């Protein structure tokens, strides 16, 4: 096989792996956001997350892994939209943020 064909197949395989790996990480991020919203009595809106960025990072053992940041929306009152985020390192949740929310006697800022 010529070198160009081998290189093309390698690039195609790498893109396919990245796509499948990203689907698994996205599913884990959706599940984490859903659990966090449920445990905080928040409404997880649109039942999905959106990729906000990704980069290479090192895990606790020093191995390279993809760090993906996903954004999602939730509601704390039922009539507003607030933004949250999930940071994944590989397929593990590194950080989950639903932000600060107003207390029962405090007004909600929009």
Q: What is the DSSP string of 35-50?
A: HHHHHTT-EEEEEEEE
Q: Please state the pTM of the whole predicted model.
A: 0.82
At 1-37, the pLDDT tens digits run 689 999 999 999 999 999 999 999 999 999 999 999 9
Spans of all domains in the chain = 3-97
At 47-78, the pLDDT tens digits run 999 999 999 999 889 999 999 999 999 998 88
Long-range contacts of residues 58-62, Cβ cutoff 8 Å, at least 24 apart: 59/89, 59/90
């Amino acid at each position: 096989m010529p070198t160009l064909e081998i290189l093309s197949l390698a690039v195609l395989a790498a893109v396919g792996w990245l796509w499948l790996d990203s689907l698994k990480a996205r599913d884990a991020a959706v599940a984490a956001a859903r659990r966090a919203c449920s445990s905080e009595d928040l409404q997880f809106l649109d039942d999905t997350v959106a990729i906000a960025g990704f980069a290479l990072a090192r895990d606790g053992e020093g191995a390279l892994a993809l760090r993906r940041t996903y954004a999602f929306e939730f509601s704390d009152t039922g009539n507003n939209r607030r933004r949250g985020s999930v940071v994944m390192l590989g397929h593990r949740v590194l950080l989950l943020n639903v932000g600060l929310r107003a207390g029962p006697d405090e007004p909600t800022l929009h």
